Amino acid sequence: VALLASAADPGELYINCIAEIHPHVEAYEKYEGNYHKIIAQNILTHAPEPAAVVLPENEPELQDAVRCAKEVGLSVCPRSGGHAFLGESRCTGVMIDLAKMMGFHYDTQSKVLTVEPGFVLGDVNYDLYFMSPEDDRRVIPTGICPGVGVGGYIPGGGHGPMGGKLGLTCDNLVEVHMVTQDGDVIVANEEQNTDVFKLACGGCGGRYGIFSKFSIKTTSADFFDQVTVFHFQWPINKAGEIIAKWFDYGHNDGDTWFRLETRLHGGLHGYGVCWGTSNPADCLGRFENEAFFQVDTPYIEILEAADNAPDAMAFL
């Protein structure tokens, strides 16, 4: 029996291990079932092909997913939203897809949001805002791509349009759970396991463990619900001069978020938000006298008030 086991495919051994502990967990060895559909959700589809993929639904299942990989001698790579541009959410071992870990809870007393890594930023923005009381809507600072998973975005040090006022999402963390390579859970905050807590802010990215839960301080949406969105366009031949001068722009101490994007066949585009105002004229006044904005008169695609903070984020 030992000889047969040692000759077996590592992916098959892994599937047998996890199925014995959690028979209902979705898991596939290479080329079986939904394997190709799942791994294709990565941005870099030419990245390594895992020996197996598994989709735990909760923290205990995640712990055993890690333990089984260690037992059969396979490495692991976690994936939250699949937006790893370097392909690091794919590996030759076990890809642990966190998409089904969808725990989400907002505590109205502490005003802390606790979310699992299966959530993507777009859903977090809307769910937090509309699940919080109507007279006390809440926000957290997130990025602009709605499909990015929080499991990579937060420990990766992701930034976004509210960052000038609120910092990074990880700057607002109050506690995290991390599953270690042995399958144990570490609870970390400013008072215990502080080294792990620091890893959750741009220092980890799945290299030391897999974050299974994030508790995040929220902020009143009142200021961010007063918001104007904009989209300007300049000729591509003005891009160099505008971008060079844009680097000196101060973004009004975080009240404004202004992004530039070049498109080979579509010119230079500037888009963003003015927080704290629903008046388009006031928004325009924040940068119309800046050097980068005076290089050439832009074509105004959009300059209008948004309904609320989540709608403004969706526009971006």
Structure tokens at 161: 């349009």
Q: 37-46, 92-101, 306-315: which has the minimum mean pLDDT?
A: 37-46
Residue that has been written with the tokens 């996890």 in this structure: 18
CA 244 to each of CA 159, 263, 291, 302: distance values in angstroms, whole numbers, following the listed order: 22, 17, 10, 24
For residue range 55-94, list pLDDT tens digits in order: 999 999 999 999 999 999 999 999 998 887 777 788 999 9
What pLDDT sits at residue 206? 58
For residue range 33-50, list pLDDT tens digits in order: 999 999 888 776 677 899
| E-only strand ranges, 193-298 | 210-217, 219-220, 227-234, 256-263, 267-275
pTM, whole model, 2 decimals?
Answer: 0.92
What pLDDT sits at residue 3? 40
Average pLDDT over residues 184-192: 97
